[in-house]
Structure 1
Amino acid sequence: MSTVLSVNLNAVAMLRNRRDLPWPSVTGMGRIALAAGAAGLTVHPRPDERHIRFSDLPDLRALIDAEFPKAEFNIEGYPTPEFLDLALSVRPEQVTLVPDHPSQPTSDHGWNFAEHEAMLAPVVERLKKAGARVVLFADPDPKGFGIAAAMGVDRLELYTGPYGGTFADPTVAARELERLGRAGDEARALGLGLNAGHDLTVANLPALIERLPFIEEVSIGHGLTADALEYGMHATVGRFIVALSPR
């Protein structure tokens, strides 16, 4: 099994939103990423639309349907009724539920499954009935993974932020990598699929994939967009795909 790349377009949208101008084009950059081999696009529409705007979603859906019908649309967000209605309006292949407060600049922790089971279970059921793959954002701590499995969740997305933050300390990086490895092993033992995301780079992906070769998808935005400023989006997607390839 090979790990696929979903390109998160939030950072592109945030740059666009600095001016009342239509560039950089979110759909245009999504087109380049998919043409370069990305398996899908990810967006996280927040209530204040500070990066992805609600109006971007149908445009991206139309792009995928018209030009890249094998690609997937992954929509992330906190499961408010408004978010769920918005997400389902564009028929995403995957919905990733995150426990973010709307004021957070980015996702920085996973769900407490025991605390939020009663809220999440009917949401998971609704999304699955609509035909979406359902993913829950998870810390690299297996506690509660069984609750997620019992809810019928398809996958967990391991929060890799602490691992990504160890770029200057190989010893700490190895420790964080093993935390992710143990959590991923437990998820797999429970029959859960596995995604990963946050602060992943060309430099730290190979070790992650070597330890967890059954990761099905990584969603990458900030690091990929930063590299695209230097290498261009098409070449950057290629670099990340190579980094995901088994050595």
Structure 2
Amino acid sequence: MEQLTTNQDKPLVVRVADNIIEYIVDNKVAVGSKIPNEFELAQRLGVGRSTIREAIKLLVSRNILEIRRGAGTFVSDKHGIADDPLGLTFVKDSKQLAIDLVDVRLMLEPEIAALAAKNATPEDLEELMVQCKKVEELIRRGEDHTEEDIKFHGCIAKCSKNQVVQNLVPIINSSVAVFVNITHRRLLEETIETHREVAEAICSGDAETARHAMAMHLIYNRRLIKKMIENEMAGSESENNIM
């Protein structure tokens, strides 16, 4: 990254941002690692510090970099993925949204689990089992397991070794959070059992069992949400009849 190398037709700030990304990729700068400071980047690219500052702001807005006050600028763990990539913030019907998200996950996650069983490294498998146990422990203690549940599914995506799959994790994360919020953490025992079945199948390298276990995990979730919607509708009809 000694000089600007990107399309001259782009605005200068965008070209600088592209070169910073190029530096991160070429040097395999890991998530959470610090990049050179403004002064060093300005010297390397031959531009002013104000341009570097604007380029960094652009990359922060794209979730590629994050600024930690007093520490510097670091590669974000969001991998450049928007906080709400599907625009779900403005969807009002949370229960139908949960159903739709589970349906999408049913199209994707059983195959992701199968890929994970085929491609995971020993280190991946160790991380997966640790994460599985964390979720179990939180559920047993009656504590909120949402964040660790999300990480569990993220571990499975990582185990798949498919770069695109890992960028689909925000869809999965959205679904887990929505599901937990609207069901008030029901299906706790089923979550423990199905998570363990998925994790153990992946660790055994059994793609077919991993695929089936993940499908069952999601089907349990879908059935509960569907039942809640039906009960809510039945309750509304009863109230209308009384009135």
TM-score range, shorter chain: under 0.3
Using CA pairs under 8 Å that are at least 6 residues apart, name the structure with larger relative contact order, 1 or 2. 1
Higher strand share: 1
Structure of higher CA gyration radius:
2
Higher helix share: 2
Q: If the length of structure 1 is used for normalisation, what is the TM-score?
A: 0.23
